[in-house]
Amino acid sequence: MSAWAAVAFALCLFARPCCALPPATAVATPEKVILDTDIADDIDDAYALALLASAPNVKLLGVTTAFGETGKRAQVAAKLLAALGRSDVSVFAGRKGGSAIGRQYQWARRFRSPALKSGDAALFLKTQIDQAPGQITLVGIGPLMNLGDLLTRYPEVKPKIRRIVLMGGAVYAGYNNQAPAVPEWNISRDPAAARIVFTSGVPLVMAGLEVTTTLHLDAERQKRIFADGTAGTDALAALTNLWGGGTPTLFDVAAVAYALGHRFCDEERDHVVVDDSGLTRITDGPPNVTVLVHPHPDLFLDWYVSILRTQIPGDKA
């Protein structure tokens, strides 16, 4: 039994009394995934990318960057991938916008790599989907302009996308984990793009604020990760230090974990609409979204720390 399977099995046993969903197991055949991220503002994108890039039995086909300074975000993603031993993963900058970028960019401002591609991000997504119809999961952990561009410019790809898993939205809670729901950041940066995604008919999973706001990576758990001193964990430590926002909340990691087959919460099927403010609301109608609910934060965080330390490659002697 691999270390991954051992941890997943143990957590499955622990989770069973409070979680009736399928056990946490690695999928049998490699999951094909593309990550769309706004890495370099909040810190959770880096933790999400570290989990995905180091996961076994996953074929990470590429990374695209969204929101504002997409080229600079691509540098951060590519440098983190390199630190994780994944310079083979191509990174495409999405459509550039006018927003600034956070301090984490300083860490990567001199970084250059053949993995940084100059091609069009939406076209890259379309090409990959055409080459593997019905097989690719798109994981969106930033504002949705790239996925909106993809579905608008190439609507013919919709039936070929296996599913979209988002960190985004809120139907029951706000950032304080209390009702009422509020417009969530990723959705409210571009509600029109979000509406395109939510009405696309593509199978959609939403990890919103009701399952993500309690995922706090406290100092003790951070120490356990950083103590390994590998290139990958050193990169996470440097980025966390530059970010300087206190205790990271692992919003985006929830979406990646779900895409990898880890279940740390319940789920329900709802009809969800996006209003002009970016609020996501449940209304009457046929279900269009699988909404994640009722998380188990400690279970999730302990799993995350353990699996990350197992997965991230150590330095070679």
Task: Give residues in contact with Ca ion (CB under 5 A).
Answer: 38, 45, 141-142, 252
- Smallest distance from Ca ion to CB 146, Å: 12
142/232 with CB nearer Ca ion: 142
8/35 with CB nearer Ca ion: 35
Tokens for 246, please give them: 């206190």
Element (H, E) at 14: helix 3-15
Could you give the CA distance from residue 53 to residue 117 in angstroms, rounded to a whole number? 18
- Smallest distance from Ca ion to CB 67, Å: 8
- Smallest distance from Ca ion to CB 317, Å: 36
Could you give the CA distance from residue 35 to residue 37 in angstroms, rounded to a whole number? 6
48/181 with CB nearer Ca ion: 48
- Identify the burial level of 98 via C-beta atoms within 10 angstroms of its C-beta, where 0-12 means exposed, 13-18 middle and 19 or more buried: exposed
- Smallest distance from Ca ion to CB 141, Å: 4
CB 52 within 8 A of CB 78: no
- Smallest distance from Ca ion to CB 133, Å: 28
Both ends of the chain: CA-CA distance in Å? 26
Give CA angle at 260 (124, 9), nearest 5°: 165
38/210 with CB nearer Ca ion: 38
**Which amino acid, 193?**
A
45/149 with CB nearer Ca ion: 45
